[in-house]
Structure 1
Amino acid sequence: MIDLGLSKLALIGVVALIVVGPERLPKVARMAGTLFGRAQRYLNEVKSEVSREIELEELRKMQKDMQDTASNFEQSFAKDVSEVQSDLKSAWSDPTHDGVSADPLREPPNPEQIAVKAKDFRRKKLARTSAIPSWYKRHNGYRTHVISGAARVAKYRPAGAARKSPVSFY
């Protein structure tokens, strides 16, 4: 921009005073000020309009990118769903898919299989509900079943040491 120092402004004021005259100088100065203010407002409006247009173009571009991404995702999702549906239809129509019988009620499991499943279920349930992992218990020799002191005494008491009538502590 134009660099106006104090000396240049003073020179312009002296020339304006000589050219315009002292009686009309305040009117001309007011008019010049209003014109200068209007010019500044007009320039600011133009700048803001240009920046809005640039932002609008960026938003349009971003919207287009998002729509492209959404359509690509929708197409890939639809493709995956159709693949899964075709796999399910083929598995449903084939009664012995991967060697597994389609109807498990035709061949009941034998008792050994039931016992193995029950044992695995109990083992897995204990592993899920236990606070200490089973591998740690096996490694360090932790007891998996804890009994109270009174139950331990009753369990390991010799047969001859059992008393006939309990004696009161008091």
Structure 2
Amino acid sequence: MAVGKSAIGQQLAQQLGARFVDTDAEVVARHGTIAEIFATRGECAFRELEARAVAQAIEDAGGAPTVISLGGGAVLDSGTQQLLAGCTVVYLECDADTVSERIARNSGRPLLAGDAMERWRTLFATRQPVYERLADLVLDVRSGSVQELARRLEDALEEPAAGRSGAPASTPAATKEVEL
């Protein structure tokens, strides 16, 4: 949450000449703002919409190079976790100090109502083990511009150890989708 998934993902897609999909933006385009969905239908309904958006983005990629930015809680869904098994998953690693200013500027995050940083710490403590377990690559985003971070990620994706298959991530099978 607030680690720069959309900005870094968009920059990476541009560098790779790949399609970019932000699943939160897809949900918003089809169903209204995330805050509205939470307020009128609840978190459970939002998570269902989110899981469908992720599944659709992966299906639509159809083997073409695609960078998909997932919402911070999307990976908690077991179905989404199964779909990600066939993708290169990148965990953008951050800490509270790095995200605090971003969170302060954006008060429209329903899960961060109240004491936003305390809620972020609680959510992160729950999600971090899942992020680490699913990740093929970890990118520390505590410092560097969006362009620098995307370049570092592109370099990491080109290394032979990148991707679950053990093949270089630049091969179509390993770069079918890059999930952030």
Question: TM-score with structure 1 length normalisation?
Answer: 0.17
**Greater strand percent: which structure?**
2
Query: Whose RCO is larger (CA < 8 A, sep 6+)?
Result: 2
